[in-house]
Amino acid sequence: MQRYYFDHNATTPVSPEVLEAMLPVMTEVFGNPSSIHHYGQAARAKLDAARRQVAAMLHCSDNEIVFTSGGTESDNLAILGIGGHVITTSIEHPAVLASADQLSVTQVPVDRSGIVDPDAIRNAIRPDTKLITVMHVNNELGTIQPVEEIGRIARDAGFAFHSDGVQAAGKVPIDVRAIHADIYAISGHKIYAPKGTGALFIRKGLNLRPQMYGGSHESRHRAGTQNVAGAVALGAAAQWINQHAAAEWPDLAALRDRLERSILSRVADTHVNAAGSLRAPNVTNIRFDGIDSEALLIALDLRGFAVSAGSACSSGAQEPSPVLIAIGLTREQAKSSIRFSLGRSNDAAQVDALIDAVAESVAHLRKLAPAYA
């Protein structure tokens, strides 16, 4: 049976370009980048080059990039490193919400389109507010938040703005200066690099309290010998994005729109969650009335299609998606929604095959559900 992957927001395969850049580092450039001998300096050169590539993608200076183990560590370092009262939204990734919960936090709601009102952010400011953290692109809905305006609010108020850009990297333009970000997180495995590598932009002059203690690595922000191979992989992924991603976005959007239109026309009682919002080009979240999302996910998997019922970090949870509840869906509606996230390997033929599989699977499941009829 042929299999097709439509779960790129959960993780992406390592691309050939990234693997080609990474493999020699794993086998030949094995030195510690803090060592002053030849082997160490060879590793340092690779690390510095990767830092420049990531900085180019984010439009910042290379000395503002700190390599981490991924998005979760980056978000933790950003939020706990600032401390104080935090303002965030109700649809953030668990890495942000769980970090903020360790501090004093205000969660601002979003509207039915999954967008936060900047005025609501402004109204949540307290005398002890130190940080606003709002994701750039939502991982389940693909909604793009008004980060530039929110960043301006933080700048004018005199405190820091952090954005989780894990789902934005490679899918929308990123310029940390333009959105007034002080801290910005990305993760390698969402952009065709391996798991276990990520980065955090930290604006020059901003002081963050480290969350790992030891040596003076990464400008004293993150102790521990650097994962040079992982950093090189992340740099190669960023370079591909710098050179090619913008040309890819219209094609992804066309495939996403093709998927949505066909499912809505062929399958009765279906709805695109947050359809009216500005979204990243590769993701759609569709609700199927009368269908349990887990049953549909399994049915599609048996037909060779990998999709998701929500955030991969919450998979296995019996509760409905907090993101879908936050935009006003009932528990039943939230538990009847499926996320489809496209990537470089998908084409029109695969999308059409997926549409057929969805239509057939939903028809079969609805026959088994008397309550739907």
Q: Tell me the pLDDT tens digit for each residue of 97-136.
A: 999 999 999 999 999 999 999 999 999 999 999 999 999 9
Check pLDDT > 70 for residue 371: no
pTM of the predicted model, to two decimals?
0.95
Is 370's pLDDT higher than 70? no
Q: What is the DSSP string of 86-150?
A: EEEETT--HHHHHHHTTSEEEEEP--TTS---HHHHHHT--TTEEEEE--SB-TTT-BBP-HHHH
- List 313, 325, 353, 359, catalytic entry: 313
Contacts of 246 (CB under 8 A, 6+ apart): 173
Mean pLDDT of the chain: 95
Which pLDDT value is given to residue 372? Answer: 61
User: Does position 314 have pLDDT exceeding 80, yes or no?
Assistant: no
In this predicted structure, what is the pLDDT of residue 339?
Answer: 98
Under the banding of pLDDT at 50, 70 and 90, the label for residue 311 is low
* Per-residue pLDDT band at 219 (split at 50, 70, 90): confident
pLDDT of residue 216: 81
**Banded model confidence at residue 317, pLDDT cuts 50, 70, 90:** low
Q: How does pLDDT run across 148-207, given as a tens digit for each residue?
A: 999 999 999 999 999 999 999 999 999 999 999 999 999 999 999 999 999 999 999 999
Residue 289: name the closest of 185, 365, 187, 213 by CA: 365
Residue bearing tokens 């590769």: 282
Tell me what pLDDT residue 13 has. 98
Q: Are 166 and 186 in contact (CB under 8 A)?
A: yes
Work out the burial of residue 112: count CB atoms within 10 Å of its CB; fewer than 13 is exposed, 13-18 middle, 19 or more buried. Answer: middle
* Angle between helix 16-27 and 228-240 (nearest 10): 160
Q: Is the pLDDT of residue 316 over 60?
A: no
| pLDDT tens column, 233-277 | 999 999 999 999 999 999 999 999 999 999 999 999 999 999 989
Per the annotation, the verdict on 60 as an active-site residue is no
Sketch out the chain's domains with CATH numbers: 4-11+245-367 (3.90.1150.10), 16-241 (3.40.640.10)
Q: What is the pLDDT of residue 84?
A: 96
Q: Does residue 160 contact residue 130 with C-beta atoms inside 8 Å?
A: yes
pLDDT band for position 347 (cuts 50, 70, 90): very high
User: Is 227 strand, coil or helix?
Assistant: coil
* CB distance 128 to 135 below 8 Å: no
Total residue length of the chain: 373
- Tell me: pLDDT of 312 over 90: no
Nearest CA to 162 out of 182, 145, 187 is that of 182
φ and ψ of 303, to 5 deg: -90, 0
pLDDT at residue 313 tops 60: no
- pLDDT tens by residue, 9-67: 999 999 999 999 999 999 999 999 999 999 999 999 999 999 999 999 999 999 999 99
Q: Alpha-carbon distance 329 to 285, whole Å?
A: 12
What band does 369 get if pLDDT is binned at 50, 70 and 90?
confident
User: Quick one: pLDDT band at residue 334, thresholds 50, 70, 90?
Assistant: very high
Identify the H or E element spanning 211.
none
